[in-house]
Protein backbone atom coordinates (compact mmCIF):
# COMPACT_ATOMS: atom_id res chain seq x y z
CA UNK A 1 0.00 0.00 0.00
CA UNK A 2 1.37 3.41 -0.95
CA UNK A 3 1.81 6.25 1.56
CA UNK A 4 -0.95 8.19 -0.22
CA UNK A 5 -3.31 5.22 0.00
CA UNK A 6 -2.49 4.81 3.68
CA UNK A 7 -3.28 8.47 4.38
CA UNK A 8 -6.58 8.19 2.51
CA UNK A 9 -7.52 5.09 4.44
CA UNK A 10 -6.60 6.75 7.73
CA UNK A 11 -8.81 9.72 6.85
CA UNK A 12 -11.62 7.34 5.99
CA UNK A 13 -11.19 5.46 9.27
CA UNK A 14 -11.35 8.76 11.15
CA UNK A 15 -14.51 9.73 9.29
CA UNK A 16 -15.99 6.31 9.97
CA UNK A 17 -15.40 6.65 13.70
CA UNK A 18 -17.17 10.01 13.79
CA UNK A 19 -20.01 9.38 11.33
CA UNK A 20 -23.65 8.62 12.05
CA UNK A 21 -26.80 8.24 10.00
CA UNK A 22 -29.69 10.70 9.95
CA UNK A 23 -32.56 9.92 7.59
CA UNK A 24 -30.98 8.81 4.27
CA UNK A 25 -27.56 10.40 4.72
CA UNK A 26 -24.44 9.93 6.80
CA UNK A 27 -23.10 12.89 8.77
CA UNK A 28 -19.82 13.80 10.41
CA UNK A 29 -18.98 16.79 12.58
CA UNK A 30 -16.82 19.22 10.59
CA UNK A 31 -16.21 22.38 12.61
CA UNK A 32 -17.54 24.72 15.28
CA UNK A 33 -17.55 28.45 14.57
CA UNK A 34 -17.43 30.65 17.67
CA UNK A 35 -19.95 33.49 17.96
CA UNK A 36 -20.49 36.02 20.76
CA UNK A 37 -24.06 35.20 21.74
CA UNK A 38 -26.91 32.86 20.80
CA UNK A 39 -27.71 32.28 17.09
CA UNK A 40 -31.40 32.26 16.18
CA UNK A 41 -33.69 32.11 13.11
CA UNK A 42 -31.14 30.55 10.75
CA UNK A 43 -31.56 30.68 6.94
CA UNK A 44 -29.25 29.50 4.15
CA UNK A 45 -28.71 30.92 0.66
CA UNK A 46 -28.29 27.80 -1.44
CA UNK A 47 -26.40 29.47 -4.29
CA UNK A 48 -23.63 30.94 -2.12
CA UNK A 49 -23.78 28.66 0.93
CA UNK A 50 -23.97 31.72 3.17
CA UNK A 51 -25.76 31.19 6.50
CA UNK A 52 -27.85 34.11 7.78
CA UNK A 53 -28.88 34.27 11.43
CA UNK A 54 -29.93 36.56 14.25
CA UNK A 55 -27.36 36.90 17.04
CA UNK A 56 -28.76 37.52 20.52
CA UNK A 57 -26.26 38.95 23.00
CA UNK A 58 -26.17 38.35 26.76
CA UNK A 59 -27.90 41.73 27.11
CA UNK A 60 -30.69 40.36 24.84
CA UNK A 61 -29.77 42.73 22.04
CA UNK A 62 -30.24 41.46 18.49
CA UNK A 63 -28.07 41.89 15.42
CA UNK A 64 -28.02 40.18 12.03
CA UNK A 65 -24.99 38.18 10.94
CA UNK A 66 -23.90 36.19 7.90
CA UNK A 67 -21.51 33.25 8.08
CA UNK A 68 -19.95 33.21 4.64
CA UNK A 69 -19.08 29.98 2.91
CA UNK A 70 -15.43 31.03 3.32
CA UNK A 71 -15.83 30.86 7.11
CA UNK A 72 -15.80 34.64 7.62
CA UNK A 73 -18.54 36.15 9.79
CA UNK A 74 -19.90 39.58 8.87
CA UNK A 75 -22.41 41.83 10.61
CA UNK A 76 -25.27 43.09 8.44
CA UNK A 77 -25.75 46.82 8.84
CA UNK A 78 -29.35 48.02 8.72
CA UNK A 79 -31.23 51.12 9.74
CA UNK A 80 -32.81 50.40 13.11
CA UNK A 81 -32.88 46.92 14.63
CA UNK A 82 -32.34 43.86 12.44
CA UNK A 83 -34.44 40.98 13.77
CA UNK A 84 -34.54 38.06 11.31
CA UNK A 85 -33.99 37.05 7.68
CA UNK A 86 -35.59 35.02 4.89
CA UNK A 87 -34.07 33.78 1.63
CA UNK A 88 -35.85 33.59 -1.73
CA UNK A 89 -33.60 30.91 -3.20
CA UNK A 90 -35.34 30.90 -6.59
CA UNK A 91 -34.58 34.56 -7.25
CA UNK A 92 -31.46 34.77 -5.02
CA UNK A 93 -32.87 37.53 -2.80
CA UNK A 94 -32.17 37.87 0.92
CA UNK A 95 -34.83 39.75 2.91
CA UNK A 96 -34.27 41.37 6.29
CA UNK A 97 -36.95 41.95 8.94
CA UNK A 98 -36.35 45.09 11.01
CA UNK A 99 -38.22 47.30 13.44
CA UNK A 100 -38.77 49.62 10.48
CA UNK A 101 -40.06 47.24 7.80
CA UNK A 102 -38.56 44.74 5.36
CA UNK A 103 -35.37 45.35 3.37
CA UNK A 104 -33.49 43.58 0.59
CA UNK A 105 -29.88 42.69 1.32
CA UNK A 106 -27.54 43.10 -1.65
CA UNK A 107 -24.34 41.22 -2.46
CA UNK A 108 -22.23 44.31 -1.75
CA UNK A 109 -23.54 44.43 1.83
CA UNK A 110 -25.94 47.32 1.33
CA UNK A 111 -29.69 47.22 1.93
CA UNK A 112 -32.69 48.83 0.25
CA UNK A 113 -36.28 49.27 1.53
CA UNK A 114 -38.76 46.71 0.20
CA UNK A 115 -42.10 46.76 2.06
CA UNK A 116 -43.97 47.28 5.36
CA UNK A 117 -41.98 50.44 6.09
CA UNK A 118 -42.63 51.80 9.59
CA UNK A 119 -43.76 48.41 10.95
CA UNK A 120 -41.91 46.40 13.56
CA UNK A 121 -41.37 43.11 11.70
CA UNK A 122 -40.09 40.21 13.82
CA UNK A 123 -40.33 37.25 11.42
CA UNK A 124 -40.86 36.74 7.72
CA UNK A 125 -41.07 33.94 5.14
CA UNK A 126 -41.31 33.87 1.35
CA UNK A 127 -43.10 31.35 -0.87
CA UNK A 128 -40.92 29.25 -3.17
CA UNK A 129 -41.86 31.27 -6.26
CA UNK A 130 -41.00 34.50 -4.46
CA UNK A 131 -44.39 36.06 -5.18
CA UNK A 132 -45.83 36.11 -1.66
CA UNK A 133 -44.35 37.09 1.69
CA UNK A 134 -45.67 36.53 5.21
CA UNK A 135 -44.56 38.80 8.05
CA UNK A 136 -45.21 38.73 11.80
CA UNK A 137 -45.28 42.15 13.48
CA UNK A 138 -44.61 43.16 17.05
CA UNK A 139 -46.03 43.22 19.71
CA UNK A 140 -48.60 40.46 19.09
CA UNK A 141 -46.64 38.76 16.26
CA UNK A 142 -49.74 39.16 14.12
CA UNK A 143 -49.23 37.84 10.62
CA UNK A 144 -49.77 39.78 7.40
CA UNK A 145 -49.53 38.59 3.81
CA UNK A 146 -47.77 40.78 1.23
CA UNK A 147 -47.87 40.36 -2.54
CA UNK A 148 -47.80 42.32 -5.80
CA UNK A 149 -44.04 42.90 -5.39
CA UNK A 150 -44.45 44.22 -1.88
CA UNK A 151 -47.12 46.78 -2.73
CA UNK A 152 -50.23 45.10 -1.30
CA UNK A 153 -50.52 44.07 2.34
CA UNK A 154 -53.41 42.30 4.08
CA UNK A 155 -53.91 40.89 7.56
CA UNK A 156 -53.69 37.10 7.79
CA UNK A 157 -55.90 35.99 10.69
CA UNK A 158 -55.38 32.26 10.01
CA UNK A 159 -52.13 32.51 12.02
CA UNK A 160 -52.83 34.71 15.06
CA UNK A 161 -49.30 34.51 16.48
CA UNK A 162 -46.40 33.55 14.22
CA UNK A 163 -42.88 32.64 15.34
CA UNK A 164 -40.30 31.19 12.97
CA UNK A 165 -42.46 31.26 9.84
CA UNK A 166 -41.54 28.75 7.10
CA UNK A 167 -43.21 27.94 3.77
CA UNK A 168 -42.68 24.75 1.74
CA UNK A 169 -42.94 24.29 -2.04
CA UNK A 170 -46.67 23.49 -1.78
CA UNK A 171 -47.36 26.73 0.11
CA UNK A 172 -48.00 25.01 3.42
CA UNK A 173 -47.01 27.40 6.22
CA UNK A 174 -45.22 26.19 9.36
CA UNK A 175 -44.75 28.11 12.58
CA UNK A 176 -43.81 27.54 16.20
CA UNK A 177 -45.89 28.66 19.18
CA UNK A 178 -44.45 28.05 22.67
CA UNK A 179 -41.85 25.75 21.05
CA UNK A 180 -44.64 23.58 19.63
CA UNK A 181 -44.90 23.23 15.83
CA UNK A 182 -48.00 23.77 13.70
CA UNK A 183 -48.89 23.65 10.02
CA UNK A 184 -51.41 25.73 8.12
CA UNK A 185 -52.03 23.68 5.00
CA UNK A 186 -52.45 25.54 1.72
CA UNK A 187 -55.95 26.86 1.05
CA UNK A 188 -57.06 26.20 4.66
CA UNK A 189 -57.76 28.56 7.55
CA UNK A 190 -57.15 26.49 10.71
CA UNK A 191 -53.60 25.58 11.85
CA UNK A 192 -53.03 21.99 13.00
CA UNK A 193 -50.55 20.78 15.61
CA UNK A 194 -48.05 18.40 14.01
CA UNK A 195 -48.28 14.92 15.55
CA UNK A 196 -45.13 13.11 16.60
CA UNK A 197 -43.11 16.16 17.64
CA UNK A 198 -42.16 16.85 21.27
CA UNK A 199 -44.06 19.64 23.00
CA UNK A 200 -42.27 22.73 24.31
CA UNK A 201 -38.88 21.73 22.83
CA UNK A 202 -38.97 22.51 19.10
CA UNK A 203 -36.44 25.01 17.79
CA UNK A 204 -37.83 25.40 14.29
CA UNK A 205 -38.71 23.86 10.94
CA UNK A 206 -36.56 23.89 7.80
CA UNK A 207 -37.43 22.93 4.22
CA UNK A 208 -34.58 21.26 2.32
CA UNK A 209 -33.76 21.88 -1.32
CA UNK A 210 -35.52 18.63 -2.23
CA UNK A 211 -38.67 19.89 -0.43
CA UNK A 212 -38.35 17.56 2.54
CA UNK A 213 -39.54 19.22 5.72
CA UNK A 214 -37.47 18.74 8.87
CA UNK A 215 -37.88 19.81 12.47
CA UNK A 216 -35.29 19.79 15.26
CA UNK A 217 -35.69 19.96 19.01
CA UNK A 218 -33.39 21.36 21.70
CA UNK A 219 -31.48 18.05 21.92
CA UNK A 220 -30.74 17.98 18.15
CA UNK A 221 -33.23 15.20 17.49
CA UNK A 222 -34.24 15.45 13.82
CA UNK A 223 -37.77 14.74 12.62
CA UNK A 224 -39.09 14.29 9.08
CA UNK A 225 -42.49 15.96 8.71
CA UNK A 226 -45.23 14.60 6.45
CA UNK A 227 -47.46 17.59 5.64
CA UNK A 228 -50.17 15.43 4.06
CA UNK A 229 -50.73 13.44 7.24
CA UNK A 230 -49.66 16.30 9.56
CA UNK A 231 -47.28 13.95 11.34
CA UNK A 232 -43.57 13.54 11.99
CA UNK A 233 -41.16 10.70 12.63
CA UNK A 234 -37.76 10.65 14.33
CA UNK A 235 -34.93 10.12 11.80
CA UNK A 236 -31.78 10.58 13.89
CA UNK A 237 -29.85 12.88 16.21
CA UNK A 238 -26.67 14.97 16.03
CA UNK A 239 -25.55 14.61 19.65
CA UNK A 240 -25.80 18.34 20.42
CA UNK A 241 -27.67 19.82 23.39
CA UNK A 242 -28.91 23.36 23.90
CA UNK A 243 -29.96 23.78 20.26
CA UNK A 244 -31.57 27.13 19.46
CA UNK A 245 -31.80 27.01 15.65
CA UNK A 246 -30.71 24.91 12.67
CA UNK A 247 -30.46 25.06 8.88
CA UNK A 248 -29.44 23.05 5.81
CA UNK A 249 -27.56 24.08 2.69
CA UNK A 250 -28.16 22.88 -0.87
CA UNK A 251 -26.05 19.74 -0.23
CA UNK A 252 -27.97 18.88 2.97
CA UNK A 253 -25.05 19.83 5.21
CA UNK A 254 -26.52 20.78 8.59
CA UNK A 255 -25.75 23.88 10.68
CA UNK A 256 -26.77 23.93 14.35
CA UNK A 257 -26.79 27.08 16.45
CA UNK A 258 -26.08 26.81 20.19
CA UNK A 259 -24.87 29.34 22.72
CA UNK A 260 -21.62 30.90 21.44
CA UNK A 261 -21.24 28.56 18.45
CA UNK A 262 -22.50 27.38 15.07
CA UNK A 263 -21.69 23.73 14.49
CA UNK A 264 -21.42 22.26 11.00
CA UNK A 265 -22.08 18.65 10.03
CA UNK A 266 -21.21 17.52 6.50
CA UNK A 267 -23.50 15.12 4.66
CA UNK A 268 -22.30 12.02 2.81
CA UNK A 269 -24.40 9.79 0.56
CA UNK A 270 -22.40 6.67 1.46
CA UNK A 271 -21.08 5.51 4.77
CA UNK A 272 -17.37 6.32 5.16
CA UNK A 273 -17.11 2.96 6.91
CA UNK A 274 -17.40 1.15 3.58
CA UNK A 275 -14.17 -0.62 2.73
CA UNK A 276 -11.69 1.66 0.96
CA UNK A 277 -10.42 0.36 -2.36
CA UNK A 278 -7.29 1.93 -3.89
Which are the contacts of 122, defined by CB distance < 8 A and separation ≥ 6? Answer: 83, 84, 97, 136, 137, 138, 141, 163
Domains annotated for the chain, with CATH where assigned, are: 3-268 (2.120.10.30)
- The secondary structure of residue 99, as a DSSP letter, is B
Question: Could you tell me the CA-to-CA distances from 242 to 139, 140, 177, 239, 255 in Å, in that order?
Answer: 27, 27, 18, 10, 14
Given a cut of 50, is residue 278 above it in pLDDT?
no
Which is more confidently placed, 174 or 78? 174
pLDDT of residue 176: 85
pLDDT of residue 153: 94
As a whole number, the mean pLDDT across the chain is: 91
Given a cut of 90, is residue 161 above it in pLDDT?
no
pLDDT of residue 1: 46
Q: What is the pLDDT of residues 3-30, one digit of tens each?
A: 455 445 557 777 787 889 999 999 999 9
Where b means 16+ CB within 10 Å and e means fewer, 228-237 reads eebebeebbe
pLDDT of residue 54: 97
Amino acid sequence: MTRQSLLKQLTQEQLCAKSFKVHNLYYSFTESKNVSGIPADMNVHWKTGNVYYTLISEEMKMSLQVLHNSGEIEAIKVTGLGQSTAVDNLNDIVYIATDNGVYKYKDDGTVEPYTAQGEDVMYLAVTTDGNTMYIATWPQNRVHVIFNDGKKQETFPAIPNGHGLTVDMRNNIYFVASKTSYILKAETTVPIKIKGLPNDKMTGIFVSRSDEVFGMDEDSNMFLIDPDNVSAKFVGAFGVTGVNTFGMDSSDNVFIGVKEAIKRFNALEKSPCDEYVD
